[in-house]
Amino acid sequence: MEIEISSVKMLYKHLIFLAVQRCRMSDDLCRLTVKLTSFSHRFGLPLVRISGDFSLSLSPSLCVTVFSDTGVGSKLEEYQYLKYRDDLVLANQWDGMISLATTSVSDSEIHNLNLNLKESNSAGRLTKLPSTTKNGVKFSGTEVSVSISKSLDDLLAEVTCFLQKFFMAFTQMILVKIPKVVMELLVGGDDLLGTQTESRIVTIEGSSVYSPVESIKCLEVGLKDYVRKHHTCLSIGENLKVGTGVANSSGSSHGNSQVVEAVVIINEISELFPSSCMREQDTRTEILYFKDFVHCSVAQSSLDALTSINWKSYGLALRSVADHDDCVILEWENLPPHFRIHIAIHCYHRQYPSLPDRNLARKAVKCALDDLKENNQGVLLSTRELKMCDYALDLAKTLARLILSSNDLNFQEECCSLLGVQSQEVNPDNVGNCIREKIISVIGLNDRNSQKHKEAPSFLFEDDCFRKEDFMDEDYQEGEEAYISWDM
């Protein structure tokens, strides 16, 4: 599939993606480096170098970006589908040239190449340069270099948000069980006062064993951290309600199935917080979408899946779906003022590369919504059930008065025992509140299972021992599996 490079930011995203996949295919410890270096005017024209070991360098007039990795060697097929967009802004920033240095463990040399994406003739795009001998040393890795004419501040502003989201996906490697990876971030500048460099190293442990439950827990942790960092004026803490879901296509050969994980987080903000914390965009939800461990724009199939979900069954009304600068925003009609929804989706293959599978994003998001609803009483009730809950208080008060007005003390004691109200706590308020909680609990349970076991009604007084059975989603198809994480 042809990929049109329309901006420097898009170029960086794609080169990072390729570097991550090369590390995924390696069985050894991998190192990824992102280095940002700014150089003064005396060095001349801007230069950017990119390689799999993640290095990124940038500057007011000279910007050097380097992404480097020690994964498996690069292949020319990774770049043959890249197309340079004929755009004046892009042309003023990048000349379409990519310098590539790569080697595999079995190679005796480091292969040096230049790729000119502006060249339409495939034969003229590639220029082979003299190779560099490895002197018998066994190693693999890739370094890609690109010259960018743009200031450090401008480039940092463009890539910072992307890198923050990328690190969220990168932390998933802890439990997704891909090979061990060490990631290093370097930011430096070279000027008349000398060079200053800051570094940050993240070590990630892993193994070759696949476990969807462990992987989704890591995505959950990543989204929680992301929400906390982007809502600094809010005391989130224990107010987070989380639902997780995993959909797995198990029909592929050699166990190379596609996996889609989804996490939905709801945080209810206390009304005590000042109105300045409430912003117009709080009625919107940004979809954090990751493909094969790299943050990227939402795939059209996943976007279609999101719009096809029956949101009203969760008490939500979707007003619009907007795609701005590779970022998908869901806007809600009836979101309560202190109610916030956050969604993250990760689509990846157990092995790379592989063909995409469809319809899994919808399953994963639905599983996450159902999980959130299952573990948080009264949350995401359908519109019908919300109307029923409005009458629960009056009904509970009426039943409480009927119980307590009876002259049969044995009847009163039996009713209170079923409700779980101690004899010393018997009064209209306590009995009424307990009945109301029972009613709402049953409404919520019936809401979750209304399409799954209509013939098995729940009982109002059953000592809180409601049976929970596992049912396949109505969208279940042969060869696909869906997982819901029940462990909060």
Would you give per-residue pLDDT tens digits along the chain (488 residues)? 678 888 888 888 888 888 888 887 887 888 877 776 776 544 444 444 444 444 444 434 567 788 899 988 888 888 888 888 888 888 888 889 999 999 999 999 999 999 999 888 877 888 999 999 999 999 999 999 888 888 777 776 666 656 565 555 555 443 333 445 666 666 555 543 444 445 444 443 333 333 444 678 878 888 887 787 776 555 544 578 999 998 887 654 445 578 889 999 998 776 655 555 555 457 889 898 888 777 778 888 888 888 899 998 898 999 999 887 667 899 998 787 778 899 999 888 765 544 445 578 888 888 888 888 888 877 888 888 888 888 888 888 888 888 888 888 888 888 888 888 887 778 888 888 888 888 888 887 777 666 455 444 444 444 443 333 333 344 444 444 444 443 33
Asked if 219 and 242 count as a contact pair (C-beta separation under 8 A), the reply is no
Read off the tokens for 193. 């006062």
Q: Is 325 left (phi over 0), alpha (psi -120 to 50) or beta?
A: left
Q: What is the pTM of this model?
A: 0.63
Q: Is 76 left (phi over 0), alpha (psi -120 to 50) or beta?
A: alpha
> Distance between CA 208 and CA 425 in Å, rounded?
56
> Distance between CA 488 and CA 148 in Å, rounded?
46
Class of residue 256 by CB neighbours under 10 A (exposed 0-12, middle 13-18, buried 19+): middle
In sequence order, what are the residues at sequence separation of 6 or more whose Cβ sits closer than 8 angstroms to the Cβ of residue 130?
A: 112
Q: Where are the alpha helices (DSSP H) in 350-487?
A: 360-375, 383-390, 392-404, 409-419, 428-449
Read off the tokens for 485. 């994480």
Any idea which fold 217-380 has? Ribosomal Protein S5; domain 2 (3.30.230)
Query: Over the range 19-54, which residues count as b (16 or more CB within 10 Å of their CB) and which as e?
Result: bbbbbbebeeebbbbbbbbbbeeeeeebbbbbbbbb
> Distance between CA 43 and CA 191 in Å, rounded?
10
**With the C-alpha atoms ordered 132, 134, 138, 143, is the resulting torsion angle positive or negative?**
negative
Read off the tokens for 259. 């996996």
Q: What is the pLDDT of residue 212?
A: 44
Task: Identify the H or E element spanning 274.
Answer: none
- State how far the alpha carbon of 281 is from the alpha carbons of 24, 58, 270, 332, 463, in Å: 36, 32, 18, 10, 43
Nearest CA-CA partner of 385 in 456, 448, 310: 448
> Distance between CA 444 and CA 457 in Å, rounded?
12
Asked if 284 and 330 count as a contact pair (C-beta separation under 8 A), the reply is yes
Find the radius of gyration of the CA atoms of the chain. Answer: 28
What are the extents of the domains in the chain?
A: 3-204, 217-380, 383-449
The helix/strand/coil state of 299 is: coil
Going by the DSSP 8-state scheme, the letter that residue 270 receives in this structure is: P
Nearest CA-CA partner of 203 in 176, 248, 173, 158: 173
Q: What is the CATH number of domain 3-204?
A: 3.30.565
Over the stretch 93-118, which tens digit does the pLDDT of each residue have?
Answer: 888 999 999 999 999 999 999 999 98
In sequence order, what are the residues at sequence separation of 6 or more whose Cβ sits closer than 8 angstroms to the Cβ of residue 437?
A: none
In sequence order, what are the residues at sequence separation of 6 or more whose Cβ sits closer than 8 angstroms to the Cβ of residue 342?
A: 223, 226, 227, 264, 265, 266, 267, 285, 286, 288
Angle, alpha carbons 355-311-478 (nearest 5°): 40
Asked if 246 and 483 count as a contact pair (C-beta separation under 8 A), the reply is yes
> Distance between CA 479 and CA 472 in Å, rounded?
13
Q: What is the pLDDT of residue 279?
A: 57
Read off the tokens for 270. 């206390």
> Distance between CA 196 and CA 224 in Å, rounded?
33
C-alpha of 116 from chain center: 34
> Distance between CA 33 and CA 432 in Å, rounded?
62
